[in-house]
Amino acid sequence: MDKELYKHRDVNWLSFNERVLLEAANPTTPLLERLKFLAIFSSNLDEFFQVRVSQLRQLKSVDKSIRKKLVLRSNKTLKKILGIVDEQQQRFGSIMEEIFQELAKEDMHFLTGEDLNPVQKQFLDTYFKSISDDCSVSKAEQKPKLEDGGLYFFVAQANGACYFVGIPSDIHERFVQLPGDGHSFMFLDDVVKLNLEKLLPPVPIEASFSLKLSRDAELYLEDDFGDTPLADQIYDALDQRKSGQPTRLLYDAKMPEVYRTIIREALEIGVIDLFPGGQYHNLSDFFSLSNPTDNPNLTYKAQEPLPHPVLSQTTDIFASIKEKDQLVHFPYQSFDVVEHFISAAAKDDKVLHIKISLYRIAKSSVLTDALLLALKNGKKVTIFVEAKARFDEKNNIEWGKIFQENGAKVYFSVPNIKVHSKIALVERIENDSIKKYAYIGTGNFNAKTSRIYCDHGLFTAQNQITDDLYQVFSTLKRRLIIPKLKRLLVSPFNTRNVFLKSIESEIKNSKAGLPAKITAKMNSLEDQTMIDALYRASEAGVQVRLIVRGFCCLIPKPIEELERGGTPIIITSIVDRYLEHGRIYLFHNNGDEKMYIGSADWMTRNLDRRIEVLTPILDSDIFNELNDILELQLNDTVKARVQDVEDSNKPVDQGEYEPVRSQYAIYEYLQKALNTHKEAI
């Protein structure tokens, strides 16, 4: 990317992870929630090295002259990334230590071997005997293959022998609760470290240090699949991740260089693969740590999902949707309504056919049970399963085969495109004709993630939407090459063009002296053509206001750098207790506003290489509701941070106004709407 026009996506992604780290450092965030933000940071960084850094490393194998022509400077970029990560990792360790100190004041302790009393030592001795068989031991000279993401100790004995000892955190709880007063825990790592001599030959241990290896997560499939279905190729290739190219060896920074050299030779990795870190790795395990105390201030106050004013009360969900479009908001409202929609279709004698696209399938859920019930009841069920949903491939493919075995028509992804849309269509016999009911969302059909991801979903029976969605499913079934669309935006067919035309229309209106405004919320902004269009809009005086949770390659120019009459692009990002995941696009359109929601970000892959579906909001009441919610997010002054030229992540200036924490304000807004609806009936 041109350094003067666009930010590098991977470098800017680190700015997003910095915002997560800032929440972990925030003293107003409950202590155990701060640990969970550390878990998110750790999990994010692991995936970043497995996927993005791995791709940068692969570029190094390209001839230098070709890389120069492609403007791909992987070495320079990689060095910058590693410098930022190193600084963040050091702050991570300091923040964790601070949190542990504060938790100790609340009678919650993380102990090491030096802190144990006799009762706890006896407990751990017995405990270790129960897990010792799960601790792997490999000689360094045997060049062992360490598993991706696995936790290990590098152990050096006095006679020069060196070993890698596996910590079985994938089998046993990472945090071992100890007996005694208060609430005391010990890392499983420390339990193993206390007993290393029991796992090795009887030679004094000279030193031991923790480490973790991350490997390339890409599945390098052959272009020619022959007669083997793509899903089977992917399923068979999943083991590649266990032995893929190393992308990061994270080690205890106290480890001397002499041991690092032994490790490099044993694992056959380079200096560039080594990253100093803290004593503990894989701290995404903090997700599993619940509140053991009776102190409610250590966690967020419970926020139970609200019932939907209409769909949670109806005895006939199809009649309710037919009467009026319905909008749902997760996690503020219950995901039950989506499950009820599919369950009702499974049981309804008038329903002929259920069609649905599944990107990340839960291991077990009401929704999958409902689809199986529909098959049992003799209904047609067509399911589009994304076999290339990274890290969910195995579960998705296994579920796809279960559906097939029970009679569903299952379509797995094709080699060069992903089905990322969140759509469902129910065909029902009414008055001797087929009536269609649609659901189009911004998030996955997954009850578990709906409790932590902020998403929106539209139920509608309007023919202008359902007829288009029928076209989309016909295209997915390979019955059509290009869908004939009137209302929906569907990538890779018309989404880019509609968005670009909408931006150009705002530019035209602004130049004509008319009000012009673009408001958009998305996960990531990377596509250069879309960014260029926003630059033109800004120069033309269009008000551009963006909420971008993740990385953003657009560089917002200050007003003094704009042409005469230009308006600066304002970008904020919200990181709070829930993950902002909804995509909302709003164009002023000279007063006849147009709003879309759906699955696509403004990234090249979402516009050109994935099946994405976005729906216009046609119902005025729903339009106003979604607009109100968007306004609350635009006005967040508590958890929003500015995305500027310097990636400063500075908090939004609250000014003289009352503080607005949008995620809490949205819950209160929907609760008030629910109460108003109850009073009205």
Contact (CB, 8 A) for 663 and 576: yes
Q: Which helix (H) or strand (E) holds 580?
A: strand 579-580
Q: Which of 272, 275, 278, 286 is nearest to 91 (CA)?
A: 278
Amino acid at 465: I
CA nearest to 509, candidates 591, 617, 618: 591
What is the C-alpha to C-alpha distance for residues 364 and 447, in angstroms, rounded to an integer?
Answer: 10
- Counting every residue written for the chain, the total comes to 681
Q: What distances in angstroms separate CA 283 from CA 46, 193, 288, 415, 450, one per listed residue?
A: 10, 17, 10, 35, 23
Number of Cβ atoms within 10 Å of the Cβ of 535: 19
List of residues 6+ apart from 213 with CB closer than 8 A: 146, 147, 148, 149, 150, 152, 246, 248, 249, 250, 267
Cβ contact 509:590 at 8 Å: yes
What backbone phi and psi angles, to 5 degrees, belong to 181? -70, 155
* The two three-digit tokens of residue 472, written as one number: 């989309």
Q: Are strands 543-548 and 517-522 parallel, antiparallel or unpaired?
A: parallel
Question: How far apart are the C-alpha atoms of 40 and 46, rounded to whole Å?
Answer: 10
Do 135 and 197 touch, CB atoms closer than 8 A? no
Distance of alpha carbon 344 from the chain centroid = 30
State how far the Cα of 539 lies from the Cα of 512, in Å rounded to an integer: 14
C-alpha to C-alpha distances, 77 to 10, 55, 74, 247, 250, nearest whole angstrom: 9, 12, 5, 15, 20
- Running DSSP on this structure, what letter comes out for residue 102? H
d(CA 571, CA 566): 16
Is 420 known to be catalytic? Answer: yes
Q: Which residues contact 454 (CB under 8 A, 6 or more apart)?
A: 329, 330, 331, 332, 578, 579, 580, 581, 582, 663
Query: Cα–Cα distance between 205 and 197 in angstroms, integer?
Result: 7
Question: How many Cα atoms occupy the beta-carbon half-sphere of 235 within 13 Å?
Answer: 16
What stretches of 542-661 show up as alpha helix (H) in DSSP? 604-608, 620-634
What's the rounded Cα separation, in Å, for the pair 611 and 472?
Answer: 9
Euclidean distance between CA atoms 572 and 484, whole angstroms: 36
Q: Distance between CA 383 and CA 372 in Å, rounded?
A: 11
Rounded CA-CA distance 158/602 in Å is: 57
Looking at 420, 456, 581, 588, which residue is catalytic? Answer: 420
Number of other residues whose CB lies within 10 A of the CB of residue 642: 17
Q: Active-site residue numbers? A: 420
